[in-house]
Amino acid sequence: MEQVTRRKAFGVMASAGTGVALANMLTSGSALGEVGRSETPSPAPAGGGAFGGKHQPKPLPFNPSQLTGLSSHLIQSHWENNYGGAVKALNAIEVKLGSVLRDKDLAPYMYADLKREQLLRIGSVVLHELYFENLGGDGKPAGDIAAALTSWFSDVGTWDTEFRKIANGLAGGSGWVVLGYNAHLKQLTNSWAWDHAHNAAGATPLLVMDMYEHAYHMDYGAAAAKYIDAFMANVNWDIVNERYAVAVKGCGDVR
């Protein structure tokens, strides 16, 4: 029987699977066999918080039974399964990155595959936390952000029309809609994001809307427009105002 060498095993993994699958196989030794293990001792894992895998899920900042048009069952499932799963995946990938960083047999492009997965999981964790945090309000834009929306979009209604239009464009698929403050362009923008790794360069998210089907299918089936209405009715504009103030102050701009 042909002996499976370490390098040959990497070649098989590169053509067959994703970064996560690759990493799982690396530690399980399922593709390397005991011969590979004895010939090349595993290098010591990298230390430091970057490889710590210590992230903890943040609790929901509101009572899910008190939202308008979004069921407690939907919100709880979304928080626990989708957001919670992203936190677990991010932790696992961080640890995996540390464990293979010094492995000289691991080609950089394979390591980069894991970094791609990390990018996606970071995006999922951050965007979900921002999403849940900007729910639980009365859905009525007010304060400085309302004035800024009027300034950049001529009126709040025009901003609302564009934000909803982007959301409807993602219906039936997946992605995010993000109102952001762009520190480079020094303006407010509504952005389309196809997945967790998309964010407009230079933009700090102020209002985040999840358009993955898991965010609404339990309550509305394929009727994404009804979910969009429900989401907008629950936006916590106090939080959006707080984010706006921090974003503007952080880049030294004056409102």
* Residues binding Fe ion (CB under 5 A): 82, 210, 212
Q: What is the dihedral of CA 143, 149, 152, 153, to 10 degrees?
A: -150
Question: For Fe ion, which is the closer residue by CB, 96 or 128?
Answer: 128
Phi, psi for residue 39 in degrees, rounded to 5: -75, -35
- State the nearest-atom distance from the C-beta of 123 to Fe ion, in Å: 11
Question: For Fe ion, which is the closer residue by CB, 30 or 81?
Answer: 81
- State the nearest-atom distance from the C-beta of 200 to Fe ion, in Å: 19
Question: For Fe ion, which is the closer residue by CB, 82 or 91?
Answer: 82
Question: For Fe ion, which is the closer residue by CB, 135 or 203?
Answer: 135
- State the nearest-atom distance from the C-beta of 224 to Fe ion, in Å: 13
- State the nearest-atom distance from the C-beta of 128 to Fe ion, in Å: 6
